[in-house]
Amino acid sequence: MDEVVEKKFNFNTVAAICFIVLAIILLIFIPSQIDKPLIQLSFGQFNLPPQLFPQIIAGCMLALGSWFFYKSFSLKQSNDLRGLDKEAITNVIVTLVMMAIYVPLMVNLGFVLGSAILIVAMSTYFGNRNYIAAVLIGIFLPMLMFVTFRRLLLVELPPFPIDIYPLTNWSLI
């Protein structure tokens, strides 16, 4: 005799619903939130609108969310979050607090210095005792990322506070 699969809501069903809702919101708001570019590139006879790729991503998210919703009813999963020990919960809370502190640090001290402080603090909290390596990595990686984003990708990041008024040539811009 065939067993009837009991279909019920679970964590995966809720996550799928969230993905579907987010995809629908994105599809609705993408046309009004993306400005027309100052320079429009055309590829031969094709003139692609700037909303096209975000809409493709949102459409794929809607399709995958719908598939996930359908499949979620047949998944058997237990809630392992209830079995976490206090140390794991504390680590997550401390990480969230550090990330919340990072935002004003980055805005007020700049991307490089704020990121360096975050890297040193988090690596120390999670057990690193080589402070020299933590400081060197904490300064080198954000500087590398800052130069990469500013020079290659032309993305604006919060500069060093001394570089705000005016931006000078000796800085990492």
Number of neighbouring beta carbons within 10 Å of residue 143? 15
Task: Please give the DSSP secondary-structure letter assigned to residue 75.
Answer: -
Number of neighbouring beta carbons within 10 Å of residue 27? 15
Higher model confidence: residue 146 or residue 60? Answer: 60
Segment among 69-78, 84-93, 120-129 with least mean pLDDT: 69-78
Domain end among 21, 53, 76? 76
Q: What is the pLDDT of residue 166?
A: 45
Q: What is the pLDDT of residue 18?
A: 95
Stretch 58-68: mean pLDDT, rounded? 96
Q: Would residue 4 count as lying in a domain?
A: no
Same domain, 54 and 117: no
pTM: 0.55
Q: What is the pLDDT of residue 162?
A: 53
Rounded alpha-carbon distances, angstroms, from residue 126 to 68, 92, 95, 98 = 35, 11, 10, 12
Q: How many domains does the chain have?
A: 2
Q: Would residue 1 count as lying in a domain?
A: no
Higher model confidence: residue 147 or residue 134? Answer: 134
Query: Quick check: helix, strand or coil at residue 114?
Result: helix
Query: Quick check: helix, strand or coil at residue 166?
Result: coil
Same domain, 36 and 94: no
Single out the residue of 4, 9, 5, 17 nearest to residue 67, CA to CA.
17
User: b/e string for 151-171 if b means 16 or more Cβ within 10 A?
Assistant: eeeeeebbbbeeeeeeeeeee
pLDDT over threshold 60, residue 172: no
